[in-house]
Amino acid sequence: MHIVVCVKQVPDTKIIKINPKTNTLDRRSAPAILNPYDAHAVQEAVKIKRKTGGTITVLSMGPPQATAVIKKSIEIGADRGVLLTDRAFAGADTLATSYALSKALERINMDLPIDLVICGKHAIDGDTGQVGPGIARRMDIPPITSVIEVTEVNQEEKTVLIKRKLTSGYELIQSEMPCLLTVEKEINDIEYSPMPNMIKAARYEPIIWSVNDLENVDRTQLGLKGSPTIVGKMFTPPRPEGGKKLEGSVSEQVSQLMEILMEKKDLFTLTSSR
């Protein structure tokens, strides 16, 4: 069983600021962390490995300092990690990122066939949720999104039983492997790393690949050249106004409330479909 988990180094969005001049994230204003959804993806891979055995490979794309998220993944329980780092990848949007990662997955698959790819639901910096499905489309494997439980992995029949969250409820899906999952945070709890994992992570040196280490790459689909997405503007939304406090006697408050409801009556108008 070979599971590959795609992870990303992101700025801590609880702290990060927006540059008012460029309307972009000021990544220097916050520490870089392992994308929280990706941490749950690694943890889920560890849970599956405990039942099936096998190997967990983590894959990331970013600057050289992104080795930190590879090491963090090793600490959680991954076996090995690959970092794609090259100026050719710089400025990539979700389309170019999914292309580069799919090419790296092709190479990983040649060395050790992949049974399952797991991604976080989305990255907290871009919040698109597009990279996982984009990878699956390029690899021509089924994508299953918003996964909250991996119920069963059948290695003999090469199938996986998945529970995923919908806006209207839940859905149970059986998929053939290989397939790609994007997971929600609620799929598991991140465990405390045992000391051997922490020691291994501290000593581990990730595998580093440049664009030259990948095969059959169309460089026009990489980095800024391969990114048709343009962010027109980014801004912090205004804080919502506080509610109105009613004062006075009960009858006075009722009168005030009725006045407000009459002012907002259009919000409560029901229309018949007949």
Summarised one tens digit per residue, pLDDT across range 212-245 is 999 999 999 999 889 888 777 766 677 777 778 8
pLDDT of residue 174: 96
pLDDT of residue 96: 94
pLDDT of residue 91: 85
More confident site: 250 or 244: 250
Residue 273, pLDDT > 60, answer no
> Do 6 and 38 contact (CB within 8 A), yes or no?
yes
DSSP string, 7-74: --EEE-TTT-EEETTTTEEEGGGS-EEE-HHHHHHHHHHHHHHHHH--EEEEEEES-GGGHHHHHHHH
CA distance 213 to 210: 5
First to last CA, the chain: 57
Residue 16, pLDDT > 70, answer no
Task: Give, for 207, the enclosing helix (H) or strand (E).
Answer: strand 207-209
Q: What is the mean pLDDT of the chain?
A: 89
pLDDT of residue 232: 75
Q: Which CATH superfamily is domain 2-221 in?
A: HUPs (3.40.50.620)
